[in-house]
């Protein structure tokens, strides 16, 4: 009798497990296949620590691994680190590393690797793109073979966010490969020099032709990645991207033009159109100061002839711009009219758009107070660049809105490098339209708008902005931090050193058979859990 019960029990368990196995099999991710990806822009190079460009960072996310990562809902999750501890004073971050993490060259990841990589970023000679974010770091100590401690000079509330996701986060290079090969080898994309610990290893980068990554079979996370290979091609023209997508020549468009989304949707009703709250600001920046001695970047500053006057900034950038109309025309309503210094989808963002309602009468009054009117009409130059067609559309709408105020905005269309040179090197401009960078938090915007930032393109000199950034970043209490963020964004909207027009929507397009991809805006493009259902 007891034996029978046992048999029945075993049979029941087996039945349950078979059903479970059946469910699992039916839903199981299929292994294998090649994911064909289209990029809209060329990859600049493959030294992940020094070179700019999202296209490169999206490769880095897959070739490299970091200590920690970030989920779409903002949770910090382990990557090569299995756990971490933050000291009560917020000055020491101790990371316990997983013991099975291998680089693609077969070397093992240990605590010395973490020290090597962060020291490399901190070294001014490296000229790391992220060095500015590591300003609070004092040193990295190796506590034991698999425990690394990052010590800070002062508490920094965004240390974990920075390591996880600022410019895709900390990417760990193999020290062996880094020391053996030159930075030029890595920039050029020599596979033996570009060695990470991510789910895919670099096979080949033939600039202008393709970038190929293959599955790394010894990746530390069991069972992933599912894909055998990823092939990335550059297709710049949106019409060609659509044709290639419609013909099934590509599976995924990593960055698709907002202008063409409706057309693509109509042509491909089953396409997965991935987007979210905007994390990139579309701005109309007004220059505040100019070099007094005429030498660009001079520390000796003089007021800009037009926009140093807060009344003119407010007349033009605040009450004179109809943000809703711009969004309606330029984005067919598919963006958020916005004013805050960080975009709608960023951490601790606050909607302060109500501070600048469209009010042409008030704008005219302010202009009159500043001495402009029919006798002395205001004329300024509005620069934008050819990178995205939407920039020119927005600039044209602003020109039209200015005309309603009796203000003449003369458009100057330049190419992207000319704009970059003008913006970063204190070149002559009155206002420019651009969409700058994707921002995870208020803190991340410091490198674009603090007085000391190279990218402080309006060249404002108000150190109160720097104080806000410092207070915000060093406040460890989230509630108090949010209060500072709100106060700062209101301050910024009032002063208009930074003038947001709207969010800049970001779209990715996937074929219906591409499964397991999680949209994380420009911050992360991970393929490790992607599989092809075909």
Q: Summarize as ranges the residues that interact with other proteins (CB under 8 A).
A: 42, 44-46, 50-53, 127-132, 167, 183-185, 187-189, 203-204, 206-210, 212, 231, 233-237, 239-240, 242-244, 246-249, 267, 297, 414-418, 420-422, 424-425, 427, 437, 447, 454-455
Ramachandran bin of 451, using left for φ above 0, alpha for ψ from -120 to 50, beta for the remaining angles: alpha
Decide if 66 contacts 118 (C-beta within 8 A). no
Comparison of 346 and 353: residue with beta carbon closer to other proteins: 346
CA distance 443 to 346: 10
Comparison of 131 and 364: residue with beta carbon closer to other proteins: 131
Nearest 5°: phi and psi at 145? -60, -30
Measuring CA to CA, how many Å separate 273 from each of 153, 343, 422, 521?
A: 44, 21, 35, 12
> 97: which strand partners?
81
Shortest Å distance, C-beta 158 to other proteins? 16
CA distance 223 to 132: 36
Q: Which residue has the tokens 């034991």?
A: 144
Q: Which residues of 496-534 are buried (b: 16+ CB within 10 A; e: fewer)?
A: bbbbbbbbbbbbbbbbeebbbbebbbbbbbbbbbbbbee
Shortest Å distance, C-beta 202 to other proteins? 11
Shortest Å distance, C-beta 242 to other proteins? 7
Ramachandran bin of 74, using left for φ above 0, alpha for ψ from -120 to 50, beta for the remaining angles: left
Task: Work out the number of other CB atoms within 10 angstroms of the CB of residue 45.
Answer: 20
Comparison of 181 and 358: residue with beta carbon closer to other proteins: 181
Task: Work out the number of other CB atoms within 10 angstroms of the CB of residue 274.
Answer: 18
DSSP string, 348-416: T----GGGS---HHHHHHHHHHTT-SSSS--EEEEEEESS-HHHHHHHHHHHHHHHHTT-EEEEEEE-H
Shortest Å distance, C-beta 360 to other proteins? 34
Decide if 460 contacts 469 (C-beta within 8 A). no
CA distance 468 to 472: 6
Shortest Å distance, C-beta 385 to other proteins? 10
Shortest Å distance, C-beta 502 to other proteins? 22
Which residues lie closer than 8 Å to 1 by C-beta, 6 or more apart? none
Cis peptide before 469 (omega within 30 of 0): no
Comparison of 236 and 480: residue with beta carbon closer to other proteins: 236
Comparison of 139 and 240: residue with beta carbon closer to other proteins: 240
Comparison of 211 and 367: residue with beta carbon closer to other proteins: 211
Decide if 194 contacts 63 (C-beta within 8 A). yes
Tell me which residue of 155, 118, 124 sits closest to 140, measured CA to CA: 118
Comparison of 365 and 389: residue with beta carbon closer to other proteins: 389
Comparison of 84 and 245: residue with beta carbon closer to other proteins: 245
Q: Which residue has the tokens 């530390």?
A: 220
Comparison of 86 and 188: residue with beta carbon closer to other proteins: 188
Shortest Å distance, C-beta 42 to other proteins? 5
Which residues lie closer than 8 Å to 113 by C-beta, 6 or more apart? 172, 174, 175
Shortest Å distance, C-beta 204 to other proteins? 5
Comparison of 45 and 345: residue with beta carbon closer to other proteins: 45
- Secondary element (H or E) of residue 114: helix 111-122
Shortest Å distance, C-beta 247 to other proteins? 4
Shortest Å distance, C-beta 489 to other proteins? 22
Shortest Å distance, C-beta 430 to other proteins? 16
Comparison of 237 and 400: residue with beta carbon closer to other proteins: 237
Comparison of 257 and 336: residue with beta carbon closer to other proteins: 257
Shortest Å distance, C-beta 524 to other proteins? 17
SS3 content of the chain, % helix, strand, coil (to 5): 35, 20, 45
């Amino acid at each position: 009798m007891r034996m029978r019960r046992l048999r029945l029990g075993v049979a029941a368990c087996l039945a349950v497990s078979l059903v479970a196995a059946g469910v699992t099999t039916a839903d199981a991710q299929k292994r294998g296949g090649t994911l064909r990806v289209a990029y809209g822009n060329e990859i600049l190079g493959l030294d992940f620590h020094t070179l700019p460009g999202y296209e490169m960072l999206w490769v880095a996310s897959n070739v490299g691994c970091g200590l920690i990562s970030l989920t779409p809902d903002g949770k910090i999750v382990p990557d090569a680190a299995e756990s971490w501890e933050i000291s009560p004073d917020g000055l020491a971050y101790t990371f316990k590393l997983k013991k099975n993490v291998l680089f693609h060259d077969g070397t093992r990841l240990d605590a010395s690797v973490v020290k090597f990589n962060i020291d490399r970023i901190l070294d001014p000679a490296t000229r790391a793109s992220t060095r500015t974010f590591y300003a609070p770091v004092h040193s990295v100590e190796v506590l034991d073979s698999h425990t690394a401690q990052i010590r800070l000079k002062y508490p920094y509330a965004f240390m974990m966010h920075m390591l996880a996701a600022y410019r895709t986060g900390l990417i760990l290079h193999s020290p062996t490969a880094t020391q053996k090969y030159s930075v030029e080898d890595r920039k050029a994309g020599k596979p033996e020099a570009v060695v990470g610990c991510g789910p895919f290893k670099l096979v080949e980068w033939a600039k202008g032709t393709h970038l190929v990554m293959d599955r790394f079979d010894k990746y530390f996370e069991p069972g992933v990645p599912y894909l055998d290979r990823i092939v990335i091609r550059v297709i710049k023209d949106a019409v060609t991207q659509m044709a290639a997508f419609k013909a099934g020549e590509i599976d995924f468009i990593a960055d698709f033009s907002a202008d063409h989304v409706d057309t693509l949707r109509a042509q491909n009703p089953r396409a997965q159109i991935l987007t979210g709250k905007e994390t990139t600001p579309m701005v109309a920046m007004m220059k505040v100061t100019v070099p007094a001695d005429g030498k660009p970047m001079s520390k000796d500053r003089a007021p800009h002839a037009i926009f140093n006057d807060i009344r003119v900034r407010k007349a033009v950038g605040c009450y004179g711009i109809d943000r809703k109309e711009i969004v309606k025309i330029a984005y067919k309503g598919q963006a958020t009219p916005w004013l805050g210094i960080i975009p709608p989808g960023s951490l601790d963002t606050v909607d302060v758009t109500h501070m600048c309602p469209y009010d042409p009468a008030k704008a005219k009054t302010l202009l009159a107070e500043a001495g402009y009117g029919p006798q002395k009409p205001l004329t300024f130059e509005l620069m934008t660049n050819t990178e995205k067609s939407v920039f020119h559309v927005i600039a044209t709408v602003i020109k039209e809105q200015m005309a309603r105020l009796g203000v003449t905005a003369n458009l100057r269309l330049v190419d992207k490098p000319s704009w970059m040179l003008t913006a970063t090197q204190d070149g002559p401009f009155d206002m420019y339209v651009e969409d700058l960078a994707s921002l995870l938090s208020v803190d991340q915007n410091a490198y674009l708008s603090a007085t000391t930032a190279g990218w402080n393109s309006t060249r404002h000199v108000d150190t109160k902005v720097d104080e806000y950034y410092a207070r915000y970043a060093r406040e460890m209490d989230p509630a108090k931090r949010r209060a500072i963020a709100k106060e700062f964004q209101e301050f910024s909207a009032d002063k208009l050193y930074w003038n947001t027009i709207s969010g800049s929507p970001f779209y990715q397009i996937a074929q219906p058979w591409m499964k397991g991809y999680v949209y994380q805006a420009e911050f992360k493009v991970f393929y490790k859990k992607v599989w092809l259902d075909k």
